[in-house]
Amino acid sequence: MRKALKSLHPVVRLLIARFGMGLLTLLAVSIVIFSGIKLLPGDFAEATLGQNVTPQVAAELRTALGLDQPAIMAYWHWLTGVIRGDFGTSFAGLGSGDSRPVAALILPRLSNTAFLATVTAVTAVPIAVVLGVLTALYRNTVFDRTVNFMSLGAVSLPEFFIAYVLVLLFSVIWPLFPAIANISPSMPFSGRLTASVLPSMTLTFVIMAQMLRMTRAAIIGVLSAPFIEMATLKGQSKWRIIIVHALPNAIAPIVTVVAFNLAYLVAGVVVVESVFVYPGVGQLMVDSVMARDIPVVQACALIFAAAYIGLNLLADIASIVSNPRLLYPR
């Protein structure tokens, strides 16, 4: 096994090591999620059946749901089920016999969250890169200082405040977009897009600032290199120097920060979805916490963790692949 690994390209070995580290991290996160939910105060059986329930009935409900199992055994059953794609059964609707599998509850919500994240990424990434290039090209000007001031303000303000300001502006003062992003599978694409404008705009303000500032810093760092000075002495224009010479050499940190912010975008939608009542995984997690629906909470937290770890792994891979010194080692 070791000989087979040594025969591989150094980049392939590094990617395998990062992938293995990602799996170990996800396993550790699953232990933290399960343990944290187990340590929460209160009892689901009493909360569901009421305070006047007899101990015998509460014990029967705990046994039926597997809540009386030892923690290690319960974690093992949950983990093996997750590996098979079975997240368990939702506690909602137990009394009426209308309980549904957790996967059936999450999949449509996950599709909605993915749609919101995609719209935000398609909007935020090009704007951030273009503004980063422009501020690097016209650095220390009024334009540069204005954009930097606005980006600092966007980073400093919490998501819910930006969301409420956008609702005030574009739903109350100028009623252009709905304040409640109520979407459904039967809606046409244009309707889904219109309903997602305000939550997407909120997330765009949140993640665009960091990408913009990193793009600017990376390009300015490359502009001090000797080959840039040589291109300047040859009489090339500033635009050609930045687009042809500086941007390709600054792509590694830019790609890394873009992937990191996309990871935050997937895992950080809880607050935004709650503000706009957007039917995504974040809103489902909030509702499940209030209803003490333990299987759904565990599944949502694990999905967020897997998405964050996966996109961070993608950021590592992108930074490795975009670095010629790693692609062509001596």
Number of domains making up the chain:
1
Say which CATH number the domain at 255 has: 1.10.3720.10
- Check residue 46 and give its pLDDT: 61
List the structure tokens of 264: 């935050």
pLDDT for residue 171 is more than 60: yes
- Residue 189 lies inside a defined structural domain of this protein: yes
- Check residue 94 and give its pLDDT: 61
Tens-digit pLDDT profile for residues 229-263: 787 777 777 777 777 777 777 777 777 777 777 77
- Residue 6 lies inside a defined structural domain of this protein: no
pTM > 0.85: yes or no = no
- Residue 176 lies inside a defined structural domain of this protein: yes
Full residue range of the structural domain in which residue 175 is found: 107-291
Most distant CA pair in the chain: distance in Å? 87
Mean pLDDT of 104-122: 86
- Residue 91 lies inside a defined structural domain of this protein: no
- Check residue 118 and give its pLDDT: 86
